[in-house]
């Protein structure tokens, strides 16, 4: 599809839309009778309305999920997988349409939006495949005429709470493994990205979703999110978002002895050693620092560089940043879209002021962009600081915008120390031509994801996704590892001796 066609298709459906909850197989209003607006961060245009739900709506959703799960848990996993394959093909068919909805409500450029939808497609095919794997163990028993094995069983009802920056990819990382393993779902998407959530659930519906198996409840985090966390019949809460909210959820769920899977913030770094291919590093940094306007959880926010190549890297980065075009992501020539909302824009600008006050040197950017018709949107200029010290706030705290900080170091060891000096542990990358140093970095970089000679973004769905330290609580989204979140292990012993045999410990 060329530029013009993308924009024309996008213009066609400007009628105000209303998105309702999906509970027990029906699109329903909330008992609150209230609505919130969804806007386009490019220009503030109102895209439509969304119901603002209450605790009572969550209650209905959980009851529906409970009924549905009773049947679904006994559907053979390969048959559950057939449903996931249908979802995968429908996602594939609708890829362009979904990508456009995504760009309009969230702002990421259309090429990245297509990439995100592709991630959901890949995840659907991959998890459908799990329907015929989902391996457990069969192991020898200690005793004669006895058989032992372990099998995965569903946890029950999965409460999913998702962020706006990857509205369909993250929802797919969570809902698809939950379903293939036999759980039912109650999902609260981020308030900034309700439409894509509705479109995803429509695809579930069209693929033949059993009544009540996936329920969508729109509304605020404090009301609807919290009601999901606190509901006694929700067995596992899978959350991706900020540390602030993640900690709250973990605290409350902890008191209720409820399982949580938490994926939170990052403060990811690219390290560039003196033997690196600098042009390659520049490419990797520009894409991971300024792609999605720096709003990926894996975005590069720190650039740790050997002092001998610092100046070359600075010059080349600034030159590349000159070429980045800001604007409406529906236009294919645009590189950087808006940030999600006004308060995010202000927070980013505040961090730039903090950086200047801390004594960092601003090389480029550092301002809200309003010229060339961008004044109605939330645009921030790609920003680069240098001479940043590792203990400065701009080098420690998550900014979640197009701001990167160069931190000079003298050795690989110092680079690793700086990389690991933050509270987060999501992604890190290193550019080097030396295989020995690459392996040392792989061993010592304390993050859940490590890249060699690539930027900090670009995770593949069949590998575990998540972080160490303050980024997570030990669980992983995507990959086979995600099955652990939605299943319990059941160990089964079958004694065919015809006697009551005591276990070996009682025989010694």
Active site residues: 263
Q: What is the dihedral of CA 310, 298, 456, 96, to 10 degrees?
A: -120
105 lies in the site for Mg ion, by CB under 5 A: yes
Q: Which residue is nearest to ligand NAP (CB)?
A: 221
Least distance from ligand NAP to the Cβ atom of residue 137, Å = 29
Least distance from Mg ion to the Cβ atom of residue 190, Å = 9
Identify which of residues 25 and 464 has a Cβ nearer to ligand NAP in the complex: 464
Strand-pairing partners, residue 489, are: 152
Instruction: Please choose, from the candidates 321, 394, 408, 382, the residue with its C-alpha nearest in 3D space to the C-alpha of residue 356.
Output: 394
Among 21, 53, 103, 165, binds ligand NAP (CB under 6 A): 165
| DSSP secondary structure, 354-376, as one string | HHHHHTPEEEE--SB--TTTTTT
Least distance from Mg ion to the Cβ atom of residue 162, Å = 14
Identify which of residues 108 and 231 has a Cβ nearer to Mg ion in the complex: 108
236 lies in the site for ligand NAP, by CB under 6 A: no
57 lies in the site for ligand NAP, by CB under 6 A: no
| Secondary structure E strands in 387-447 | 403-409, 424-425, 427-431
199 lies in the site for Mg ion, by CB under 5 A: no
Identify which of residues 38 and 268 has a Cβ nearer to Mg ion in the complex: 38
116 lies in the site for Mg ion, by CB under 5 A: no
CA-based torsion, 493, 497, 499, 501: positive or negative: negative
Edge-first strand listing for the sheet containing 449-452: 361-364, 383-386, 403-409, 300-306, 268-272, 427-431, 449-452
Instruction: Please choose, from the candidates 39, 40, 43, the residue with its C-alpha nearest in 3D space to the C-alpha of residue 370.
Output: 43
Chosen from Mg ion, ligand NAP, none, partner binding at 54 (C-beta under 5 to 8 Å by type): none
Site string for ligand NAP, 142-161 (x = CB under 6 A): -------------------x
Q: How many Å apart are CA 306 and CA 238, to the nearest integer?
A: 39
191 lies in the site for ligand NAP, by CB under 6 A: yes
Residue written as token pair 């670009």: 458
Quick check: helix, strand or coil at residue 30?
A: coil
Least distance from Mg ion to the Cβ atom of residue 421, Å = 35
Interacting stretch for ligand NAP, rule CB under 6 A, among 243-251, 280-288, 321-329, 355-363? 243-251
- Give residue 264's region: left, alpha or beta (phi > 0; psi -120 to 50): beta
Q: How far is CA 30 from CA 13, 38, 202, 233, 480, in A?
A: 25, 17, 18, 21, 36
Least distance from ligand NAP to the Cβ atom of residue 231, Å = 12
Residues in contact with 93: Cβ distance below 8 Å, sequence separation at least 6, in sequence order: none
Identify which of residues 110 and 394 has a Cβ nearer to Mg ion in the complex: 110
Interacting stretch for ligand NAP, rule CB under 6 A, among 220-228, 281-289, 307-315, 358-366? 220-228
Least distance from Mg ion to the Cβ atom of residue 150, Å = 44
Asked whether 331 and 7 are in contact (CB, 8 A), the reply is yes
Quick check: helix, strand or coil at residue 106?
A: helix
Return the residues of window 19-38 that contact Mg ion according to CB under 5 A. Answer: 38
Identify which of residues 57 and 105 has a Cβ nearer to Mg ion in the complex: 105
Q: How many Å apart are CA 134 and CA 157, to the nearest integer?
A: 19
Q: How far is CA 379 from CA 7, 205, 343, 406, 452, in A?
A: 20, 36, 12, 22, 31
166 lies in the site for ligand NAP, by CB under 6 A: yes
Site string for ligand NAP, 310-329 (x = CB under 6 A): --------------------
Interacting stretch for ligand NAP, rule CB under 6 A, among 201-209, 225-233, 311-319, 483-491? 225-233
426 lies in the site for ligand NAP, by CB under 6 A: yes
Interacting stretch for Mg ion, rule CB under 5 A, among 97-105, 301-309, 452-460, 464-472? 97-105
Residue 248: HSE in the Cβ half-sphere, 13 Å Cα cutoff:
13
Chosen from ligand NAP, Mg ion, none, partner binding at 105 (C-beta under 5 to 8 Å by type): Mg ion
Q: How far is CA 251 from CA 190, 219, 259, in A?
A: 20, 21, 11
Least distance from ligand NAP to the Cβ atom of residue 318, Å = 26
263 lies in the site for ligand NAP, by CB under 6 A: yes
Quick check: helix, strand or coil at residue 488?
A: strand
Beta pairing class for 300-306 and 268-272: parallel
Identify which of residues 105 and 484 has a Cβ nearer to Mg ion in the complex: 105
Least distance from ligand NAP to the Cβ atom of residue 402, Å = 14
Identify which of residues 100 and 165 has a Cβ nearer to ligand NAP in the complex: 165
Asked whether 139 and 323 are in contact (CB, 8 A), the reply is no
Residues that bind Mg ion (CB under 5 A): 38, 105, 192
Residues that bind ligand NAP (CB under 6 A): 161-166, 188, 190-192, 220-222, 225-226, 229, 240-242, 245, 248-249, 263-266, 297, 398, 400, 426, 467, 471
């Amino acid at each position: 599809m060329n530029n013009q066609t993308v924009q024309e298709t996008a213009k066609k459906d400007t009628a105000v839309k209303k998105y309702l909850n999906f509970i027990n197989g029906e699109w329903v209003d909330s008992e609150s009778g209230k609505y919130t607006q969804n806007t386009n961060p490019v220009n503030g245009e109102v895209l439509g309305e969304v119901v603002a739900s209450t605790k009572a709506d969550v209650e209905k959703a959980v009851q529906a999920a409970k009924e549905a799960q009773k049947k679904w848990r006994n559907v053979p996993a390969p048959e559950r997988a057939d449903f996931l394959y249908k979802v995968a093909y429908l996602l594939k068919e609708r890829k362009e349409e979904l990508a456009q909805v995504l760009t309009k409500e969230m702002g990421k450029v259309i090429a990245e939006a297509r990439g995100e939808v592709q991630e959901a497609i890949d995840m659907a095919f991959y998890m459908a495949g799990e329907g015929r794997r989902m391996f457990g163990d069969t192991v020898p028993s200690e005793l004669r005429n006895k058989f032992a094995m372990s099998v995965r069983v569903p946890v029950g009802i999965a409460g999913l709470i998702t962020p706006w920056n990857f509205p369909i990819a993250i929802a797919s990382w969570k809902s698809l493994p939950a379903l293939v393993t036999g759980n039912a779902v109650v999902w609260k998407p981020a308030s900034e990205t309700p439409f894509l959530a509705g479109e995803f659930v429509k695809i579930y519906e069209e693929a033949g979703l059993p009544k009540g198996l996936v329920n969508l409840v729109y509304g605020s985090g404090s009301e609807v999110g919290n009601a999901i966390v606190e509901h006694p019949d929700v067995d596992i809460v899978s959350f991706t978002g900020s540390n602030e909210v993640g900690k709250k959820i973990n605290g409350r769920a902890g008191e209720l002895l409820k399982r949580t899977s938490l994926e939170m913030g990052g403060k990811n770094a690219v390290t560039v050693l003196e033997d690196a291919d600098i042009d390659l590093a520049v490419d990797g940094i520009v894409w991971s620092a300024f792609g999605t306007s720096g709003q990926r959880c894996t975005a590069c926010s720190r650039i740790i560089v050997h002092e001998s190549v610092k100046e070359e890297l600075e010059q080349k980065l600034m030159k590349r940043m000159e070429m980045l075009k800001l604007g409406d992501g529906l236009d294919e020539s645009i590189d950087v879209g808006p940030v999600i909302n006004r308060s995010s824009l202000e927070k980013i600008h505040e961090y730039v002021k903090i950086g200047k006050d801390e004594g960092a040197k601003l090389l480029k950017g550092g301002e809200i962009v309003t010229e060339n018709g961008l004044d109605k949107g939330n645009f921030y200029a790609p920003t680069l600081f240098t001479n940043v010290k590792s203990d400065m706030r701009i080098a420690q705290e998550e900014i979640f915008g197009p701001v990167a900080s160069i931190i000079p170091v003298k050795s690989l060891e110092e680079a690793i120390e700086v990389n690991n000096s933050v509270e987060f542990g999501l992604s890190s990358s290193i550019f080097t031509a030396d295989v020995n140093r690459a392996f040392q970095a792989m061993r010592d970089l304390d993050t859940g994801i490590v890249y060699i000679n690539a930027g900090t973004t670009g995770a593949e769905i069949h590998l575990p996704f998540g972080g160490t330290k303050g980024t997570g609580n030990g669980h992983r989204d995507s990959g086979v590892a995600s099955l652990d979140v939605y299943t319990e292990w059941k160990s089964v012993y079958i004694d065919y001796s015809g006697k009551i045999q005591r276990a070996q410990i009682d025989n010694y």
